[in-house]
Amino acid sequence: MKTTRDSGPGADRLKLKSTVLAWALLLAAPGAQALDLIDAWRAALTHDPTYAAAQAAHDVGATLNRQADALWRPTLALQAGTGIATLDNATRGAHFSAPGFGSSNNAAFDTSIRSGVGSYAGVELRQPLYDRERDAQSQQLRIGAQQAEQTWSDAQAELILRTAERYFDVALAYEQLRLIERQLDAVTRAQTEAQDRFKLGDKPITDVHEATARADGLRAQQWATQAQLELRQVALADLTGLPQADTVGLALPSHLPSSADIGELADWLERIAERAPAVQAAQLRLQNVQQEARKTELTLSPTIELVARAGHEHITGSFSNNASNRQTQGMIGVQLSLPLDIGGGRKARHNEAVAKVTQAQAELDRARQEATRQARAAWLGMSVGKSQVTALAAAVQASEARLDATRTGREVGDRTTLDLLNAENDAAAAQLALAQARVQVQLDGLRLAKLAGVLNEPRLQRLNDALKAGEAHP
């Protein structure tokens, strides 16, 4: 049986040992440069397409305030045209005087041009003075600028969170691989010892089978973890544009946030009720549809403009009619326009806008509820997670003590090989659970900060500094 197990998969085992050695050297290489969390975030700023789209939208939004200002500035139009024209002009009761003809107070003048050529040139200046719809449109443009700014700010916070999540995903995969390799090394030693002692008749064959089965299971876990690590490396590289080799030796948090960092739930909820990105976005959408309803709120919506215009018109007859007419006009004054809604379209648009206001208000309420729910989950994740980490740290110490005792007991014959293998597995599982719990507490802290609108680069820098110093306080 021993010969069958050793001679069949011998080549695969040699390859596996070479791979394990390569991973161990990679993880332990003193010259390997660990990727910095801040460097990863800054690389993501210039590489992530989602953030690039948000940046472009922010640049578009920056023009909306200028468009809003332009709505209330004067407009100047130059006008010119030519074409076939006709003219019928009748003047009665005019005063006429000319040398040699005397004067008359009841003169009549008639001018008629058929199939003539007309031309016109003029300039018109308009300055809005009062226009309810124009004012609402201006407010909508300014709201659009705020939406672009808020979306961009939220995209920055979201990118910080995604960077941290992918960073710690890779770090945890490395830690899991390290623990599996440590287990595999211990199990391999136990397997060799069991085989040697079985030859001497000191141990039953079941010890060999148990050690071999556990080693094969760990090798399967190792391959799966290596594949998972590679996928997580690719995800981080896609986000940052940095080579996968830069992800060697990523830092994991080793300490818990303080009580002051966690704070009181009521304080977080009060802040998040107004400052959560989703809430702010819903508030801006509500303001936008309110302005849309304001456009058609009044049945009659007059507009008042200051108008100044000047123009010259010339019509010349053709063929048998050689008459011509020239006019030069100028005017400056105030113009009142009063559109009449005779088709009911204005009222229909207003009803639509009012319904949208009701919808937007409901969406705002829903956004507040969802933000509050997420805040409770993140805060509980931090506060409960802190207690969980404390318990897991104690479990790690207990499992290590149990492992040492089991090793000693196996040496003197009080514990079996299976007991030792189980103790090795429990110790590794406790360490991995502790690392995962510490990461989860830090991520919950970042999520809570994002909901409160305070997740920014300085906050990430504090976490990064703590990671470098071996203690993580968000």
* pLDDT per position as a tens digit, 304-316: 999 999 998 888 8
Cα–Cα dist 446/378, whole Å: 9
Which carries the bigger pLDDT value, residue 398 or residue 107?
398
DSSP structural state of residue 471: -
**Amino acid sitting at position 239:** L
Of the listed ranges 16-30, 63-77, 408-422, the one predicted with least confidence = 16-30
> What are the residues whose beta carbons fall under 8 Å from the beta carbon of 396, sequence distance 6 or more?
427, 430, 431, 434
> What are the residues whose beta carbons fall under 8 Å from the beta carbon of 421, sequence distance 6 or more?
187, 190, 210, 211, 214
> What are the residues whose beta carbons fall under 8 Å from the beta carbon of 232, sequence distance 6 or more?
166, 169, 170, 173
Cα–Cα dist 360/237, whole Å: 39
- 90: Cα within 13 Å, side-chain hemisphere: 1
- Residues 374, 451 contacting (CB under 8 angstroms): yes
For 285-299, what is each residue's pLDDT tens digit? Answer: 999 999 989 888 877
Would you tell me how many other CB atoms lie within 10 Å of the CB of residue 300?
A: 9
Query: In the prediction, which pLDDT does 318 show?
Result: 66
**Amino acid sitting at position 470:** G
> What are the residues whose beta carbons fall under 8 Å from the beta carbon of 344, sequence distance 6 or more?
none
- Residues 353, 292 contacting (CB under 8 angstroms): yes
Cα–Cα dist 384/474, whole Å: 16
Structure tokens of 242?
A: 């940095």
Segment holding 419, helix H or strand E? helix 417-451
| Reported confidence tier of residue 157, pLDDT bands at 50, 70, 90 | very high
DSSP structural state of residue 415: S
- Residues 253, 472 contacting (CB under 8 angstroms): yes
Alpha helices (H) along 97-204:
132-199
Cα–Cα dist 461/453, whole Å: 16
- Residues 408, 181 contacting (CB under 8 angstroms): no
Residue with token string 């809570």: 448
Identify the burial level of 7 via C-beta atoms within 10 angstroms of its C-beta, where 0-12 means exposed, 13-18 middle and 19 or more buried. Answer: exposed
- Residues 432, 179 contacting (CB under 8 angstroms): yes
- Residues 58, 149 contacting (CB under 8 angstroms): yes
Of the listed ranges 242-251, 304-313, 317-326, 336-345, the one predicted with least confidence = 317-326
**Amino acid sitting at position 342:** I
- At residue 106, the 3 state secondary structure works out as strand
> What are the residues whose beta carbons fall under 8 Å from the beta carbon of 179, sequence distance 6 or more?
428, 431, 432
For 177-203, what is each residue's pLDDT tens digit? Answer: 999 998 888 888 877 777 776 777 776
For 223-238, what is each residue's pLDDT tens digit? Answer: 999 999 999 999 999 9
> What are the residues whose beta carbons fall under 8 Å from the beta carbon of 287, sequence distance 6 or more?
139, 143
**Amino acid sitting at position 473:** H
**Amino acid sitting at position 392:** L
- Residues 425, 216 contacting (CB under 8 angstroms): no
Cα–Cα dist 20/13, whole Å: 10
> What are the residues whose beta carbons fall under 8 Å from the beta carbon of 16, sequence distance 6 or more?
219, 222
Would you tell me how many other CB atoms lie within 10 Å of the CB of residue 150?
A: 18
Alpha helices (H) along 321-344:
none
Query: In the prediction, which pLDDT does 324 show?
Result: 75
Pairing status of strand 303-316 against strand 102-131: antiparallel
Cα–Cα dist 355/40, whole Å: 46
Which carries the bigger pLDDT value, residue 437 or residue 29?
437
For 137-152, what is each residue's pLDDT tens digit? Answer: 999 999 999 999 999 9
Which carries the bigger pLDDT value, residue 442 or residue 115?
442
pLDDT at 155 over 90: yes
Q: What percent of the chain has pLDDT over 70?
A: 88
